[in-house]
Amino acid sequence: MKGKKSNALSLVKLCCQALDEKKAVDLQVLDVSAQSSITDYLVLATGTSEPHLRALRVELEKAIDASQHPILGMETAQESGWIVVDVFDVMIHLFTADARAKYGLENLWKDAVSVSVPKLLGIAPKAKKRKPAAAPKKRKKAAK
């Protein structure tokens, strides 16, 4: 089982890299292996428009094909705002912002374990910018 899970996680990483390179928004990975009997990971991403969704799907297909993982199915109903790519242990859901808010898969799988995408991609977390200390306020002299 451990070998299968690490293979699935490497596929998740590959998918996340492809989506990140094409500027997918709000990329999330959920480990649903404890809740689902049909897949181990869900990859969720948002595209900014229907053409952006298609570009994300094409890039994803290229990456998956190059890795020699078989794509078992794909649902690409035109203008639906939701594309699903099934790679057995990994299911990728690409949404427009409206469709993602409408279907709320994150809420349906709220018991799933969230996988850190920056850590998966090897991106260091951004340091929080500190505001410079404000100069002390000058007090106005009281009128006499």
Residue-range domains of the chain with CATH: 2-121 (3.30.460.10)
Range of weakest confidence among 6-10, 60-64, 67-71, 97-101: 6-10
More confident residue, 30 or 131: 30
What pLDDT shows up at residue 1?
42
Residues 49 and 99: beta-carbon distance below 8 Å: no
Q: What is the pLDDT of residue 140?
A: 62
What count of residues does the chain have? 144
Angle subtended at Cα 37 by Cα 32 and Cα 42, rounded to the nearest 5 degrees? 30
21-47 residue pLDDT tens = 999 999 999 999 999 989 999 999 999
Residue position matching structure tokens 């298609």: 54
Mean pLDDT of 114-128: 77
Q: Write a three-state SS string for 90-124.
A: EEEEEEEHHHHHHHCHHHHCCCCEEECHHHHHCCC
pLDDT of residue 16: 94
**pLDDT value at residue 141:** 63
Q: Which residues make beta-bridge pairs with 93?
A: 44, 84
pLDDT for the residue numbered 121: 85
Give the predicted TM-score (pTM) of the model: 0.80
H or E segment and range at residue 7:
helix 2-21
Residue 53 clears pLDDT 50, i.e. is over it: yes
Q: What is the pLDDT of residue 43?
A: 96
Q: Is the dihedral of CA 14, 16, 19, 21 positive or negative?
A: negative
